Every structure is written in structure tokens, then in C-alpha cells.
Amino acid sequence: MYYNDNTFIFLNGEIVKASEAKIDLYGQTLHYGYGVFEGIRSYKTAEGKTKIFKEEAHFERLKNSAYALNIPYTWNNEDLIKATYQVLELNHLQDAYIRPLIYAPANMSFVRNHESFIAIETWEMKPFLGEQLLNVMTSSFERPNPRGFKIEAKATGHYVNSILASQEAKAKGYDEALLKDMKGFVAEAPGANFFVEKNNVLYTPQTGNILPGITRATILEICAQLGIQTIEKNITLAEVHGADSAFFCGTAAEVIGITSLDKILFRKEWKDSPGSIIQNEYKNLVTEKKKQEKLETV
Ligand code: PMP
């Protein structure tokens, strides 16, 4: 599903077949969840080109995630971006998901490594949370404690928490989970950030207990341009339950509306909410549609 015999990946400086690539079964990443990764997306633009959205920001976060976990990062991001475009082309992909992964060598102890490895995989992208509006439940799992983890890093091990929360929600008949932080404030979804709207003002959890998403930052920029007021703050569950609308956002999820939280419906229909305008703007931005429209009117 992710690859076949003709799929290529970038592996430690070389382009190799995914089906022939090898990793070490004694690796620290596999055993302890000690690695970092990125979730990036490329789009076929309105002009028909392949464009990786905010590629520099993503590779910068990859580097910072590695630094946060004391993982050596010896690559030049410009080279990695070039290699990623090459892999996309070899795999004949334009609308794709891109997954760089930095993994550790064989090491069963907890001591620091002097080397690390990189793989960049690409596959065809299907909407991560689907395209339907979501029924969400408040998770019984909390997000990892920032005093126990480097929560701002995109570390492989953190995703055990995400998997547990998502599986719990699905087992109970919901589409996705919303997790609170250790202080009981609303935090984020297992793989996406959260916005809630009341009286046309958008609220999103402040950084500190969440992964500060690149999509979240993009949405704050879009809102500033559209004149939509945004406030980053601690948000209680009671504030969300009485709200007008809400959505999740992330590289894979893009902007996806939420119908209900814990079976309590949001007051506005998604199509009447500022979120649906933002959803459109985001799509135009990533596919460079706006740029194209501007060019056509010149
Ligand atoms: N929170 C979590 C836990 C995530 O895994 C993701 C996806 N990377 C996000 C938020 C959204 O981040 P981004 O917009 O950078 O994809």
C-alpha cells in the first residue's frame, strides 16, 4: 500500500528501492521509540508543477526535533529537499505525503549515539482524517507531560500516545479523539492541532503542551490576512462544548471540520463557519491557486 517493487526512497545519501532497503533490527529507534520524523506534503499546483508545502519549515523542525533528543543531524536541509523532489519524481508523485525519518544505530543501552541515519519515503496521499465532518470524543488519554518529554519535538515514541487515543475513539464509534493536557486544558488531536470558534473569534491552545503545527501557524497567518480574530490561550472543555464551530488542522489532515464533541453538536453548520472559509483558503494556498489567479489577471 505504501510501496511496491518500483518505489524508490532516499536512504543515507543514496536512492534505493524501498523493497530492497534494510534497517538494523538491533536499532535503538525500533526498540525504544527514540527517533524523529516529519510529515510533509507535496501538491500538484494550479500550474501543474510539484510543490512541497513549506518544505524549509518542515526540514528545520526535523533538525530541531533531532537536536531536542540529542540525535546527531549531519545533513544539509537544502540537499535533503533536492533529494525529496528527486524521490517524488522517480515515484511519479505530485499529491504526496513525504516522510523523513531519522533513526538510531544498533544500541540497546541509553547512551548517546555518534551517528544517525535518514530515510525519506513518499507515498500517494489520501485524506488522513477523511473528507467528512468528524464526530469527536474527549480522550481518556492525556497528551504526554512536557516535563517528561520534549513535546515540541516530533519524536516517534510520542505516537504511542496518539495511537492509543485514536484507537480508543474509533472503538467507541467516534471518528477521532481530542486530548487534554496534564493540566486538564484542551490540547490537540492525536495527529492534528485544534481550533474552536465562538462569535467569529477563533481560539487555539497556546504552545507548551502541544506540537506547534506548521498548519496551525499557517492558519494564524491566513486569519490575520482575512481579518479573523485569533486568540491562543488555555481552553477548557466547557468552553468547547458550548462553542459555535471547531476544526482540526495538520499537514495530513489539512483543515477538517468537526460536527460534535462528546455528542454535543457545534451550533453552526460547518459551511456557515469561518473554518470553512479557512479550509478553502488553505487549499488555495497549498496548490498555489491564488498565485495562479493573480497571474491570470495581470
Ligand atoms: N499535533 C500532532 C500531535 C501531530 O502529529 C501533528 C502532525 N504533524 C500536528 C499537531 C500538526 O502539525 P503540522 O501542521 O506541522 O503537520
Distance (Å, whole) CA 121 – CA 91: 10
Do the strands 134-142 and 176-180 form a parallel or antiparallel pair, or are they unpaired? parallel
pLDDT reading at 131 higher than 90: no
CATH architecture of 134-286: Alpha-Beta Barrel (3.20)
pLDDT reading at 126 higher than 80: no
Question: 290 or 120: whose pLDDT is higher?
Answer: 120
Using an 8 Å Cβ cutoff, are 45 and 51 in contact?
yes
Distance of CA 273 from the midpoint of ligand 1 (Å): 23
Judge if the beta carbon of residue 214 lies within 6 A of ligand 1. Answer: yes
Using an 8 Å Cβ cutoff, are 193 and 248 in contact?
yes
Amino acid found at 27: G
pLDDT for the residue numbered 9: 98
Distance of CA 252 from the midpoint of ligand 1 (Å): 8
Task: Output the CA torsion 99→100→105→108 (10° steps).
Answer: -50
| Strands (E) located in the chain | 8-11, 14-17, 36-37, 40-44, 50-52, 96-103, 117-124, 134-142, 176-180, 186-188, 193-198, 201-205, 230-233, 245-250, 254-261, 264-265
- What percent of the chain stands above pLDDT 90? 93
pLDDT for the residue numbered 242: 86
Q: What CATH number belongs to 8-123?
A: 3.30.470.10
What pLDDT band is residue 208 in, cutting at 50, 70 and 90?
very high
Would you say the CATH fold of 134-286 matches that of 8-123? no
Protein residue whose Cα sits closest to atom 10 of ligand 1: 192
pLDDT for the residue numbered 298: 47
CA count, 13 A, side-chain hemisphere, 241: 9
pLDDT reading at 291 higher than 90: no
Using an 8 Å Cβ cutoff, are 235 and 152 in contact?
no
pLDDT for the residue numbered 128: 64
Extract the C-alpha cell encoding 18.
Answer: 524501498
Distance (Å, whole) CA 51 – CA 13: 22
pLDDT for the residue numbered 125: 86
What pLDDT band is residue 129 in, cutting at 50, 70 and 90?
low
Protein residue whose Cα sits closest to atom 4 of ligand 1: 191
Question: 1 or 22: whose pLDDT is higher?
Answer: 22
**Angle (CA) 154 77 61, round 5°:** 20
Task: Output the CA torsion 279→281→287→290 (10° steps).
Answer: 160
pLDDT tens digits for range 146-202:
999 999 999 999 999 999 999 999 999 999 999 999 999 999 999 999 999 999 999
pLDDT tens digits for range 23-55:
999 999 999 999 999 999 999 999 999 999 999
CA count, 13 A, side-chain hemisphere, 154: 21
Amino acid found at 292: Q
pLDDT reading at 295 higher than 60: no
Using an 8 Å Cβ cutoff, are 230 and 204 in contact?
yes
- Average pLDDT of the residues of the chain: 95
pLDDT for the residue numbered 297: 53
pLDDT tens digits for range 212-268:
999 999 999 999 999 999 999 999 999 999 899 999 999 999 999 999 999 999 999
If one residue of 161, 162, 251 were mutated to test the ligand 1 pocket, choosing by the most ligand atoms within 8 A of its CB, it would be 251
Give the CA radius of gyration of the chain. 20
Extract the C-alpha cell encoding 79.
Answer: 540537499
**What are the residue boundaries of the structural domains of the chain, listed by start?**
8-123, 134-286
β-bridge mates for residue 121, sequence order: 99
One of 51, 63, 154, 180 is an active-site residue; which one? 154
Judge if the beta carbon of residue 119 lies within 6 A of ligand 1. Answer: no
Told to judge if 49 belongs to the known catalytic residues of this protein, a careful annotator would answer no
